[in-house]
Chains A and B, each alone.
Chain A
Amino acid sequence: MTKLIRADMIRMFKARTMHMMMLLFAGLMLFEGWISSGEDAQSGSHMFSAIIFGMGSMLLPMFVSIGICLIIGSEFTNGGIRNKMTVGHTRQAIYGSWLICSFVITLAMTAVLIISSFAAALIFGGNIVIDDISVKAVVINLLVMTVCDLGFTAVIVLFCTLFTGYKSVAVAFIYNEVTMMIFSILGETFQKSSAYKLLTRFFIQAQMKFYTATEVTDSPALTALCGASLGIVATIAGIVSFRNQDFK
């Protein structure tokens, strides 16, 4: 499996798609910084918080899903998966390699988010005053958000194998938007319901208001556990379906 991971990793990070997605994502974060600097005078710390936990956390899953779907989808459209199976790689290994590489993409995009948010705050918001934010809150919230993003990533890999080719890009986009929409509608009515609150812990799209740079989100361990469990369920379902699938 290490051969597969190595080959996939090199291909993914050499792909122009990945470079474009990362550049576009970083550019959008900087653009967001520029826009918000014109609205009212924000300190760098506030801008950092607004970008990383606002626009950034909302756009990250979308960029991650498009990037992953394009990369894995190309294996189906160009026949890369045939080459892997023909030379004797097991389906579990192929799936596992895609999952690990997708996790790395998510982590790389998170790094881009952190760096670009920081850069935007420095360029357009001036100095970041450490007293304005809680480093502990930033670190814990980022960790919880990343775990939930990884859970979401596993769902996207599942989509890539269920909807082969570039169909998965559309499916992932719809999933993202619909989930966000459903939770925003449900939130208006059931905001105080404990069941709704528990449900939001599974889906990164429902956690827009969870994170700030000043306060640690409530029950961070539970949220991380819920996000991770979604990923585990998606991975088990993905491997079971992938093992029995016929490919052309």
Chain B
Amino acid sequence: MEYVLKTHSLCKQYKHFKALNGLTMNVPKGSIYGFVGRNGAGKTTLIRLICGLQFATSGQFELNGVKSTDSGIEKARRKMGAVVETPSLFPEMTARENLRHQFRLLGLPSFDDVDELLKLVGLEDTGKKKVKDFSLGMRQRLGIAIALCGDPDLLILDEPINGLDPQGIVEMRELILKLNRERSITVIVSSHILDELSKLATHYGFIDKGTIVREMSAEQLEDSCRKCVRVNVSDAKALARVMIRLGLEYKMISDDTADIFAKPNVTELVHELDKENCTLNSLQEHDETLEGFFISLVGGDSHD
């Protein structure tokens, strides 16, 4: 698999606080990488390191194959766009002027794409309205438009739906999906709003106390969080035979426990198990949410 971003044991120590503690993660090309962690877990610190705003205490990262210690890292950043925390905008300027400023920073020869970018983020009708008069959602979208200047391959969005109203959240989700599907942009989205992230992400990285505790694809996560009936039996082999006979999808969890991914007829199940001399010890509906999965990964203790 090809990776846009790889980090190796990244550490960032502030005076009395270790924000990143040997963080290793891999972001596959073309993915929407959901970067999940609670407040203070180290999400924004990592983004700041990647964007060059801060330096790692130890460890390194690779951006499109270029190591953070290489002299070419600044050049590699030109194919990257980011909105770190709040969008970086000049409030006295209009949306168009902000974009033109970014075009100049990138040394782009013409402003032809400004209109297209404004249209892409739905700000084409803002005219002479200054950014200071924009709503939060409009600012977020303009921030993304600025990050998209220069056709980046990688877009990093730090908590892009924070503070948005439901309509704004839907628009933001659609925009991110559109950028990923139509422009093949790899997107890293950091968030602690897991439900929203689950509608977007193709890959996940769960971060806690400055370390990635688990990386997985959306399919793997779906498997872990899939609605099922968890049964505990006396004979696993007998259960397997019954499942095949009844045509039910299942997965063995342990020697005596299995998840059945359907709603079985309980009477029929008990009857069939009985035929195999197998006892059904317990049966319960199992429905782990993304939140539940996350808490089971990082533990439910309160914030430090």
Contact = CB atoms under 8 A, between A and B. Distances in A.
Interface of A: 2-4, 6-7, 10-11, 14-16, 74, 78-80, 82-90, 244, 246-248
Given A11-B101, A78-B90, A83 B53 contact: no
A84 B51 CA distance: 10
B55 A246 contact: yes
B88 A87 contact: no
Contacts of B150: 87
Q: Which of B105, B106, B147 has the most CB of A within 10 A?
A: B105
Contacts of B101: 7, 10-11
A20 to B, nearest CB: 12
Contact of A79 (B52, B84, B104, B149): B84
Contacts of A87: 77-78, 80-81, 102, 105-106, 149-150
Nearest to B78: A88
Interface string B139-154: 0000000110110000
A36 B88 CA distance: 47
Contact of B105 (A4, A14, A74, A78): A4
Nearest to A5: B104
A7 B101 CA distance: 6
B151 to A, nearest CB: 12
30 contacts: A2-B107, A3-B105, A3-B106, A4-B105, A10-B101, A10-B104, A11-B90, A11-B101, A15-B92, A78-B88, A79-B87, A80-B90, A82-B84, A83-B146, A85-B53, A86-B51, A86-B52, A86-B77, A86-B80, A87-B77, A87-B80, A87-B105, A89-B74, A89-B105, A244-B55, A246-B48, A246-B53, A246-B55, A247-B48, A248-B85
Given A79-B84, A83-B88, A86-B80, 13 more contacts: A3-B106, A4-B105, A10-B101, A15-B92, A78-B89, A79-B89, A82-B82, A83-B146, A85-B51, A85-B53, A246-B48, A246-B53, A247-B48
Interface residues of B, number: 34
B220 interface: no
A11 B88 CA distance: 15
A149 B248 CA distance: 83
B76 interface: yes
A82 B101 CA distance: 13
Contacts of A80: 88, 90
Interface of B: 48, 51-55, 74-78, 80-82, 84-92, 97, 101-102, 104-107, 146-147, 149-150
A7 B53 contact: no
Contacts of A2: 107
Contacts of A248: 48, 53, 85
A247 B80 CA distance: 18
A96 to B, nearest CB: 14
Contacts of B51: 82, 85-86
Contacts of A88: 52, 74-78
Chain A interface mostly: helix
B197 to A, nearest CB: 22
Contacts of A86: 51-53, 77, 80-82, 84, 147
Contacts of A244: 55
Q: Which of A74, A80, A87 has the most CB of B within 10 A?
A: A87
Nearest to B49: A246
A80 B75 CA distance: 19
A214 B84 CA distance: 57
A2 B149 CA distance: 18
Contacts of B105: 3-4, 7, 83-84, 87, 89
Contacts of B48: 246-248
Nearest to B44: A248
Contact of A85 (B52, B85, B86): B52
Contact of B88 (A4, A6, A79): A79
Nearest to B149: A87
A80 B150 CA distance: 16
Contacts of B53: 82, 85-86, 246-248
B281 to A, nearest CB: 55
**Which A-B residue pairs are the 9 nearest by beta carbons?**
A79-B88, A7-B104, A3-B107, A88-B77, A88-B74, A246-B54, A88-B78, A247-B53, A85-B52
Nearest to A80: B88
Contacts of A79: 84, 86-89
